[in-house]
Structure 1
């Protein structure tokens, strides 16, 4: 899908032609649409389709004809029938005072621009528009990071209950999301550094504060990712230790029961041996069977008290 927009006053309007100061938004474009855009703006087809490859790395390519900025934005997907987070490339191509955005899916990063809810947004100020897209991306990263931390707290709230393997899997999934975020945010930081360093990309003094905000927010997202990742790793280790401790307690309890049950088994086994009854204690004593049962019971009770004193029961 290819749509063209331009701001008139404070309103964003869709137009049919991409004149100077326009925004061309490509969302999951077909090969024919990519070829058409490449021919219309004299852009390499590989650069137009670069953002459609999930494995494409973030970078900045500047030439005499146009500039390509490729960076990662957060996205929601479903893995194992659960909501999870990942990152996808977003391509920005600046050519002839026209900004092209290319993405494999409709991203929330551009939603506010399409809804015309961003302050001081103008398609005619391309560099400010690019910085605003970066800023929205950083804010979305931070929003998803807070959701991940909230899910981690929900899992921690059930640590006192019976911990199941599914909770460990959920923590591993959250940690995987943070790995994706950390990798993408660090790559985006390199892109921002190059944007600030490249002299062939126009810069305007009035946009410097906005660029500084983008750098700060991206660094904050990196720090949040690192902190939440360390916390989740500690929580996962705590859950593993609790499960191991509960397993040890269960094994210790079963071993204690085995010791107690071994007493009547040994005594009954001895009396059941094929030997002359005259050599067996209490064999000719009245109520001998009852006396033996009482002795077995007393021995079991004493053993249980000893085990309980040693905290094995």
Structure 2
């Protein structure tokens, strides 16, 4: 899908959708087809490799320059619904700076870019290409922070659930959050390297204000990296604590079952002895009534004594 936008004027930042490529426009490509890539490449002079770069989910954050075209690939966060629960992942976003236009390419439609289309971003002009790139980068860092805050709140909710139930579903939700933080950490560190390189580009050094914005973006990105590390440590500690609790509960159950087995073995020992078909057993010549009562009494006394002893040793 290709959408072309252009700001009406500097006084009126309303976006106008175009049918063809014009100077100062923004070309937004979402999961484009091969024909669409070839068309945009022909119209703008951008190498098709630049347009294909963001269509690889495993593409890492980087900068590439060819002629007057600058390619910035940044990892951006995405949220998806999976089994009635939000999951978090990252996908590459390609931002291509050309002499006449800005091109963005992504596999999925991101809220990060729809905010620009819907007019939620102030002082946004498609013809201010360097400023537009910096505004996108700032939104990326802010969106990472927003997702991390959501992960933090979600992890607290899961911890409360773990106090009540150690169900597999809750543990899998915890594992899913932990995996999301691994993706975030990897992407944010790769983005940090790319942002540091951008500081050295001539395009970003034309205006002092743009340089200040880029430095703010780097600070936001570093804050996101720190938050990711904190939440990752919390989730790791929670997973370890959960594993220890499960192991401890298993030990308690096994200890209880072992104690019950010992107690139940005592009547079996007595019944086995007095059930032997041999002569000379105690009370074998006594009448049936008194002999049975004596045997039962011994079983009951021994069983109660074993329960008392095991209870004192903390087995019950």
| TM-based fold match above 0.5 | yes
Q: Is the 8 A contact 1:62 1:200 kept in 2?
A: no
Q: Report the 3-state secondary structure (helix = DSSP H, G, I; strand = E; otherwise coil) of the residue aligned with 2:112.
A: coil
Larger deviation, residues 177-186 vs 12-21: 12-21
Aligned counterparts of 2:205 and 2:4: Cα–Cα separation in 1: 23
* Aligned equivalent of 1:175, options 174, 178, 192: 178
Whether 2:232 is the aligned partner of 1:229: answer yes
What is the alpha-carbon root mean square deviation over aligned residues? Answer: 1.6
Whether 2:218 is the aligned partner of 1:211: answer no
* Aligned equivalent of 1:247, options 250, 261, 264: 250
Pairwise CA distance, 1:200: 5.5
Aligned counterparts of 1:283 and 1:254: Cα–Cα separation in 2: 38
Whether 2:58 is the aligned partner of 1:35: answer no
Whether 2:7 is the aligned partner of 1:7: answer yes
Unaligned runs of at least 5 residues, structure 2: none
Larger deviation, residues 290-299 vs 237-246: 290-299
Whether 2:190 is the aligned partner of 1:187: answer yes
Pairwise CA distance, 1:19: 2.2
Pairwise CA distance, 1:149: 1.7
Aligned counterparts of 2:77 and 2:206: Cα–Cα separation in 1: 26
Pairwise CA distance, 1:95: 0.8
- TM-score, normalised to structure 1, is 0.95
Equivalent residue, structure 2, for 1:284? 286
- TM-score, normalised to structure 2, is 0.94
**Gap change, CA 1:283 and 1:97, over 3 Å in 2:** farther
Deviation string, structure 1 residues 50-89 (Cα, Å, up to 9, x no partner) = 1111111211112332111111101123556753111111
Aligned counterparts of 2:176 and 2:127: Cα–Cα separation in 1: 42
Q: Is the 8 A contact 1:127 1:203 kept in 2?
A: no
Aligned counterparts of 1:180 and 1:118: Cα–Cα separation in 2: 27
Pairwise CA distance, 1:144: 1.2
Aligned counterparts of 1:152 and 1:51: Cα–Cα separation in 2: 31
Q: How many residues align?
A: 312
Pairwise CA distance, 1:201: 5.1
**Gap change, CA 1:283 and 1:301, over 3 Å in 2:** farther
Aligned counterparts of 1:6 and 1:267: Cα–Cα separation in 2: 95
